[in-house]
Every structure is written in structure tokens, then in C-alpha cells.
Chains A and B, each alone.
Chain A
Amino acid sequence: MQRLRYYILSLLLIGSLSACIEEDDYDDTARGNIEALWRIMDEHYCFFDYKKEQIGVDWDEVHQRYLAQANEKMSKVQLFEVCSNMLAELQDGHVDLYASHDIGRNWSFKESHPNNYDENLVKDHYLGTDYHIAAGISYKVLEDNIGYIRCESFSDALGHGNISDALYLLALCDGIIIDVRNNPGGTLTTAHRLVSHFTNEKTLVGYIYHKTGKGRNDFSKPEEEYIEPAKGMKWQKPVAVLANRSAYSAANDFVKCMKAIPNVTIVGDTTGGGSGMPMSSEIPSGWSVRYSAVVMLDKDRQHTEFGVPPHVHVDMVKNDQLNNIDTIIETARKMLRKD
């Protein structure tokens, strides 16, 4: 059957004098997989120049160093480790290798920094049990008439109706806190939908561009990215956005956009970054590789790949934590009360 199929295909293709369009192929060997992985990154990854400038990654040197580790006697697990280590050189949380037994990753964006968030503390002493839930956000009015919105992820559904209704219930508050600490990201559209309730005019929030070819500097022209005001309820009073190093990807973009809006103060730690929109590909072993493919800059054309710095830098204080106080929330409350 296989042969028959081959003959039919060959006959028809030769008969039609048509040139086949194919990609370069690599063997499913240690060398083939490392080479294929390096090539995929080389042709698609969008931050080579920036990473070289910031952390000194020389992708050609990485190629030589990791190819030298290829050994056809190595097990799949060992090969996976070598491939993962090669990707980890880029220190990018959007660069991962997925196999059935593991995910190769570099989470140094959060693992080498203070956590600055205590989930139990927030649940037990701030949200309590009488909070409201509007799709992907939980919220309540704190004792000092400050509204508190907890947004754990942008992967959950969150419509304009949910946001408008929540803001309506918080309308009498003196200000609101939007807590995106430990928010790993999700859908950009959802993050931008939330931002759109905090601006009255079309606001430039950044620039976006993508690769246009295999060359490391083949990029499109940066296009402006705007947030249009939402049609529903729009918040007019002061806002504090709480961030930490685990606010990543779409949450990083949310903080970037909110920072472009007047009346918004970012409180806490620098975000985790992850400003490259990830795409996926694969290597001959069948492992899936994810990489940053589209660059998103802030409104001043600056990279936020390594995070968005806060207006007010505050770390959690151990003693406060022991006394059931979230230092970052309390700083924001104090600031909003002053306003």
C-alpha cells in the first residue's frame, strides 16, 4: 500500500513537473533534535539582540556548546535535559520544551525574586468569605471604603458586563486596588478589556511587531497599540495596581497598559515580564517547543521582557505577614486614602 501510494504520488508529481515545497528535515537523533531546536529558535525567536545586550547570550556560541553535547547513546531524558538547558540560556518564561514526561523551562523571572504574595493571607484577611465573584474577578469593599479586586488569571472569561457590574458595586469607594500578583497571564484581549474600563479616551499603550523572515533582525515596522474606552462603566477615581514578579505575560501587559493611564499607580514589585507573544513549533522527537515570536513594547518603545517597574516599590515585610498584614495592600490602601 505504501509503495502504491508512493508510485501514484511520484507519477503525478513528475508528470506535472511541479516542484515540491518542503521544509528542511532533521533526523530524530540527539544531534538532529538539538540542531532542529536551535534552528527553530534561530529563525523564529524575537529577542536575540535584546538578550545579548541584557544578559550576554550569544546564540551562535550556544549552538556550538550544545551541539558538542550531542551523543547518540544518550537517553531521551538526557536529551531532553540538554535541549531544555539550551533553551534556558535565553531566560525567557515563554520559552519551554514540552514532552510527555516533563516541561523544560526557565522560571528565573520569579524564582530568583521575593514572592511578595501570600494567597492565604489575602483570602483569610482581606477577601474573607463575603466577597463577590464576577466571572474571572473576585472583589469586595474593604473597611476603609477602598475597593479590592483580585484577578488571579486572564485565562478566565471576563466580559464587559462583568467588569461594569463589579465597578458599579464599587462605585462609592474612594479608590480601588486591582491585585494581579501571581497572575500568570492568559488572553491579551481579556487583559485589555479590563484596562478599557479605566480610560475615557483612546490611549496609546505600546507598540507591537513581529518577525518577517528567518534573519534575526527581520522585523516588521512597530505598530501602535491603543486601548479604546469601554462602552460600559468607566472608573474615574484613583486606582492602585498591585504587582509582583509572578505577574507574567498578559498580566505583565496589563500592568504595562495600566501604567499608561493617568490616575493609576503601580505598587509592589517589578512584574515578571514575558512581553514576547509565544508561538509553538516542534522538533523531530515530537516534543513541542514554545518561543517568543511577537515583540510588545511599552508606550515609550521600551522592552518589558524583563518586567514593568512599579511607581512605588514595596516588598512584603515578614513581620507584617506574621501579623496577618499584606504590606503591599496596606501601602496601596494608605495611598488611596490619602488621595
Chain B
Amino acid sequence: MKKNIITSLKLAMFMAMMAVSSLGHAQSDSTDDMASQDLSLHALMVGAGWSNTLDSYLSPYNYKGTDFTVIRETTRPTKKMEGNLYVQTLFQLNGSILENRANTAKEYAGGLRYGINWQYAWKLAKGLKVMAGPGASAFLGGIYNERNSNNPGQAKADIMVDLTAQAFYNFKLLRREWLLRYEISVPFIGMAYSPNYGQSYYEAFELEHYDHNLRCAHFVNSPSLRHLLTLSVPMKSAVVRVGLSANYQQAKLNGLKYHSYNTDIIVGFSKYFQRKTTNKRQVLPF
């Protein structure tokens, strides 16, 4: 387990070094606003870390192991609310290789979440900006336990209305302009798929016997959180990002307990595109 994490960190650091070395030197500072210059942000990050997963349909115990993730983010300003309304889309793909504590069984978990957020921006002080607003997200994935009989896997799917917020802090250090960003998403209410407590997939899919398989999921029965902490610094032609993605999904539906705590160290880069022209921005917009 420890070895897996160290390997993951080494991999993340290697990817970060590769990204930095390919981008060259830092460029000039900027505190321009995305909206005023009609910029859109595109970011791609990869990460590796650790995962702790429980699905009582498969096993009553936590399975732990290594997680891998890819995050694709796009943020663009709109003309609404005097240019203070932003639209952010997030794709997050993750996969985990997990093992039980006795090291006698493995599980493989993974899925894709797509989220779209509408956030209003407040500029609180020079370099400090806060954005918050509603969002919607959908997840499709599953967990496979390699030794179970008629319950070898568990499908995971949900559509949620989320509450989201981000805070940006722009500062200068070592003659470079840095951007620290923290984002949180709280799934508030929606629908989620779950088999019933002892229902087999044979009944649900082969015989098509429905038994409360679509449940209302909300912040009480599915208290979940998604955190994203990033530190960005402009390089030659893009902005390098490093950070932490902490994705804590939980649910208690139909008497089945589920959690998936994925924490990944992420690296990647972002670029700001001027939407009306083909000129690419090279620096931070805040």
C-alpha cells in the first residue's frame, strides 16, 4: 500500500517535471480579468494518489489502494450579470486498484463524472476573488470485486444538483505571479441508482424487476464533497498547475453503505484562449 502511494507520488512528480521542462521560463505578471478580455480557460490535469472504498453490496470492509485521475476543466465568462457569471465544465475520470486489508481480494473501481457549474464572481480585494453558484453533475461508473459470485460488481450512477464555490488568490513570489485556487462542490439533491439491499443483478436486469432502484439522493443520505486545490504559475506558453483533488463520495441507499475517498496529487497545465480572436493568452487572467 505504502509502496503504491510512493510510486504514485513519484509518477506525479515525474509528470510535473516533464510538464515544467517542456514549458520553459515564466512570463510577465497580469491581473487582467477573464471577462473583460473574453478569455476562456482550458485545463488538463493528471494525478495519482490513494483510494479508500467501501461498498457493502460487495464487502463490509474497506478496500484500499491506488487511484489515478484525469481532470479536464473549462471555464468561460458569460455576458450575463454584467459579465460576472462564469460557466465551468469539469470532466473527471478516475480508476482505482484496491485490495482488502487481508490482501486476499482485489476490487477495481472507476467512473466518469461530468459537471457543469454556473458561478457568480465577487472580487473581494486585489488578487482575491470568490465565485459561487449552482451546478449539475452526472456520474457513471462501477466497482468490480474479482472473487464475488452473483454480486461481482456494483454499478454507480447519479445525476445531482450541486452547490459549488471557488476562491482564487493571486500573489507574487520569486518574480512570478502565482494563483492559488480552492474549489468545493457539494452534491445537494438528485437521483442515484442502487440495487436493493439483497437484490441480485439477475433480478434487476435479466428479469427487469424494479425495486426502488432509483432513489432520491441528497446531502443527508449521500453526504459527499469534491475538493480541488491548485497552484498555478505561468510558464512559456501555458500555465503549469499542481494541486490536490480530493473526491469524497458517500451514500446510504436501500440499506447499502458506500464510500469512495479518492485523494490525488495532480499536475497539468492550463491555457487561456481569447474567444474572439485566435491569440492565445499566456498568463494568469486575475
- B199 A21 Cβ-Cβ under 8 A: no
- B248 A23 Cβ-Cβ under 8 A: no
**Interface-central residue, B56, B149, B244, by most chain A CB under 10 Å:** B149
- A279 B258 Cβ-Cβ under 8 A: no
Contacting chain A: which of B86-94, B97-105, B121-129, B132-140?
Answer: B97-105
**Digit string of A219-252 for contact with B (CB within 8 Å is 1, else 0)?**
0100101000000000000000000000000000
**Digit string of B38-66 for contact with A (CB within 8 Å is 1, else 0)?**
00000000000010001010111110000
> Does A262 sit within 8 A of B, measured CB to CB?
no
> Does B14 sit within 8 A of A, measured CB to CB?
no
Partner of B105, one of A9, A12, A23, A288: A288
- B248 A28 Cβ-Cβ under 8 A: no
A293-B150 contact in complex given A282-B59, A286-B102, C-beta closer than 8 Å: yes
Query: Distance (Å) between the CB of B104 and the closest chain A CB?
Result: 3
Contacts of B206 in A (CB 8 A): 188-189
Partner of B223, one of A1, A12, A19, A288: A19
Q: Which A-chain residue is minimally distant from B60 (CB atoms)?
A: A23
- A20 B203 Cβ-Cβ under 8 A: no
Contacts of B5 in A (CB 8 A): 1, 5
- B250 A282 Cβ-Cβ under 8 A: no
CA distance A286 to B61 in the complex (A): 10
- B60 A210 Cβ-Cβ under 8 A: no
> Does B196 sit within 8 A of A, measured CB to CB?
yes
> Does A165 sit within 8 A of B, measured CB to CB?
no
- A12 B150 Cβ-Cβ under 8 A: no
A223-B207 contact in complex given A278-B150, A279-B150, C-beta closer than 8 Å: yes
- A210 B196 Cβ-Cβ under 8 A: yes
**Digit string of A1-43 for contact with B (CB within 8 Å is 1, else 0)?**
1100100110011001011111111001000000010001000
- A9 B257 Cβ-Cβ under 8 A: no
Query: Distance (Å) between the CB of B145 and the closest chain A CB?
Result: 8
Query: Distance (Å) between the CB of A38 and the closest chain B CB?
Result: 13
Contacts of A290 in B (CB 8 A): 149
> Does B252 sit within 8 A of A, measured CB to CB?
yes
**Digit string of B90-118 for contact with A (CB within 8 Å is 1, else 0)?**
00000000001111110000000000000
- B196 A212 Cβ-Cβ under 8 A: yes
- B223 A25 Cβ-Cβ under 8 A: no
Query: Distance (Å) between the CB of A242 and the closest chain B CB?
Result: 26
Contacts of A288 in B (CB 8 A): 104-105, 147-148
Interface residues of A in 136-161 (CB under 8 A from B): none
Contacts of A1 in B (CB 8 A): 2, 5-6, 9
Contacts of A22 in B (CB 8 A): 54, 62, 257, 259
Contacts of A20 in B (CB 8 A): 250, 259
- A21 B258 Cβ-Cβ under 8 A: yes
**Interface magnitude class on chain A:** 35 or more
- B61 A16 Cβ-Cβ under 8 A: no
A12-B227 contact in complex given A210-B203, A281-B59, C-beta closer than 8 Å: yes
- B203 A9 Cβ-Cβ under 8 A: no
- A18 B209 Cβ-Cβ under 8 A: no
> Does A285 sit within 8 A of B, measured CB to CB?
yes
Interface residues of B in 234-265 (CB under 8 A from A): 244, 246, 248, 250-252, 254-255, 257-259, 261, 263
> Does B225 sit within 8 A of A, measured CB to CB?
yes
CA distance A19 to B222 in the complex (A): 10
Contacts of A220 in B (CB 8 A): 196, 199, 211
- A284 B61 Cβ-Cβ under 8 A: yes
A8-B104 contact in complex given A277-B150, A277-B202, A279-B151, C-beta closer than 8 Å: no
Contacts of A25 in B (CB 8 A): 61
A residues in contact (CB < 8 Å) with B:
1-2, 5, 8-9, 12-13, 16, 18-25, 28, 36, 40, 44, 46, 98, 100, 188-189, 208, 210-214, 218, 220, 223, 225, 277-282, 284-288, 290, 293-294
> Could you list 15 A-B pairs, sorted by A, with CB under 8 Å?
A12-B246, A16-B248, A19-B223, A20-B259, A21-B257, A21-B259, A23-B61, A25-B61, A44-B198, A218-B197, A220-B196, A277-B200, A277-B202, A280-B148, A293-B150
B residues in contact (CB < 8 Å) with A:
2, 5-6, 9, 50, 54, 56, 58-62, 100-105, 145, 147-151, 184, 186, 196-200, 202-203, 206-207, 209, 211, 223-225, 227, 244, 246, 248, 250-252, 254-255, 257-259, 261, 263
Beyond A1-B6, A12-B225, A220-B211: 6 further Cβ-contacts under 8 Å? A12-B263, A16-B186, A21-B252, A100-B104, A210-B203, A212-B197
